[in-house]
Structures are given as C-alpha cells and as structure tokens.
Amino acid sequence: MSETRQATDKRRQWALILGGSKGLGLATAQKLARHGYHLVIVHRDRRSDMPAIETHFNEIRNCGGECITYNCDALNPLKRKEVLEKIKSILGKKEAIRVVVHSIARGNLKPMSGSEPILSGEDFLLTLDAMAVSLYTWSRALIQCDLLAEDTRILAFTSEGRARVLPYYGAVGTAKAALEAISRQMAVEWAPLGIRVNCIQAGVTETESFARIPNNARIREHAQKRNPSGRLTRPTDVANAAYLLTLEEAGWITGTVIRADGGESLR
C-alpha cells in the first residue's frame, strides 16, 4: 500500500473518496477540494497509470488542502482496517470525516447467454460486493472507528441500468439496484446518528469504466440523442450534484436518488 501526504493547517473539513483516482470519484474530489475540503482518497491502480494519476492528485493539493492517497484494494478487509487506522491517527480526536463518496467501479460485464464467457455466480458476488455492499462495510467501519462527523453526508453513484435491461450489464445493474436499497436502509437506520445517505444517478458519462462496456459507441450515440441538451453527461456535472448534497441546505435530503443526467432518463 502506497501513501502520500502533505501538511496543512488544523482547521480542516474532511472527505473520504473511495475510488477517487478517475471518473466520477476524481471529479468529485476535485470539486470538494476547490471548496476547501481536505481529502483521503482510496484507489486501486497499476504502477504504469500512476504518473498521470499523481498529476491529478497534485492539482488537488494545489487547491491548498491536504490530499492523502492510498493505492490499495478497498475490498480487502485487512487493507480497509489499515487505512482506517491511519486515518484515525491523522485526524486525531478533534477532526472527523464529513463526506463519504463511494465510487468503486469494479464489476463483470458479461452476457447471460451466448458463445462468449457468460456470467457466473462468482461474477455476480464480486460485482455486488464491489459496487454495492462495500458502501455499507466501509460506512459501518467508519462508524465503529468513531471517524464520522455529527452531520455526515454519504454519497454513492448509481445509473439508469439499475432499472433497465442493457447489454452486458446484468451484474452491474443488479449491483446498482442493491446499492440503492442499501442506501435507503442506511438512511433510515442511521438518521438518528445525523447521517444522510443519498445516491446520484448519472447519465451516460464517458469514463474509463464506460469505455469497458462492449458496444459503448452505440450506447453513447443513443444517449446523446435521448438527452434534451444534446450531449452526454460530464463528470463535472455529477460532481456538482455531489457538492450540492454536502451543503447545509441539503441536510433534509436523505434516502433518495438525485438524477444528474440533464433529463436523459425522461425520454
């Protein structure tokens, strides 16, 4: 596990980004950094990708805040425990995590039939753990470590595929539906703790994860035609919605799905 740290002042407002090196997670990290947040970013990337990723992390640090990064497997319980212990040591007794963003995008994109390799039960379980259950396991661990602020906002990214049948999207769509169900349950059971939990449904967004979907060019073209604005959703569009949900004025919003798709899902 690699770790990067930069010193800063003691008046800090913290956000934890799970899967914050690319796509929606990175865009949200950048947005929060520009609004004064100090960040802990957990990501999993190959060594060959790190020079470009470190460029993004340094841009975040240039916003003036602290950016601590851990390149490790967020789904590994031992690694999770190690990261949480380090976070607790860094934050001490006077600071806490106020925003948790779940952007782990690790799943199997396989069909259920045909000549190609088809989805197995193991594929479903891996995808569900990565893209749904890990939201709960990380959030619960943060509570147990007493690392969350009194008014914590937990955010996760979902997609229209949680309710529509899309090619190769069976495991991911199932995971997104589970993610929303888990979020609703967390919102109700943890409301007395001052925790707000919401999902953001992004429109079709060109990210590295989207590029891995077979026939993505056709999906891109169809989404652009459906969208009233005539363009795809951008990571910054979704990051803006995430930031809005961290504001004090959004404190009464919990257990819901906010669409940040420019109206794409309406057509």
pLDDT in tens, 156-213: 999 988 888 888 889 999 999 999 999 999 999 999 999 999 999 999 998 888 888 8
Mean pLDDT on 104-121: 89
CATH: 3.90.1150.10, 2.40.50.320, 3.30.590.10, 3.40.50.720. Which one for 2-266? 3.40.50.720
Give the number of other CB atoms < 10 A from CB of residue 80: 20
What are the structural domain ranges in the chain?
2-266
The Cα–Cα gap between 153 and 169 comes to 28
Q: What is the pLDDT of residues 53-100, one digit of tens each?
A: 999 999 999 999 999 999 999 999 999 999 999 999 999 989 999 999
Contacts of 187 (CB under 8 A, 6+ apart): 195, 196, 197, 198, 254, 255
Give the number of other CB atoms < 10 A from CB of residue 113: 7
The Cα–Cα gap between 201 and 246 comes to 16
97 DSSP β-pair partners: 14, 148
pLDDT over 90 (residue 12): no
Question: Residue 8's pLDDT band (boundaries 50, 70, 90)?
Answer: very low
pTM: 0.93
Residue reference for tokens 């349950």: 185
The residue among 204, 191, 198 whose CA lies nearest residue 135 is 198
| E strand spans, 34-143 | 37-43, 67-71, 97-102
CA distance readout (Å), 82 to 140, 147, 174:
15, 14, 30
Alpha-carbon torsion angle 43, 49, 50, 55, nearest 10:
-100
Return the ∠ at Cα 184 (arms to 205 and 85), rounded to 5°: 80
Question: Residue 141's pLDDT band (boundaries 50, 70, 90)?
Answer: very high
Lowest-confidence range among 101-105, 163-167, 180-184, 259-263?
A: 163-167
Q: Across the chain, what does the average pLDDT equal?
A: 93
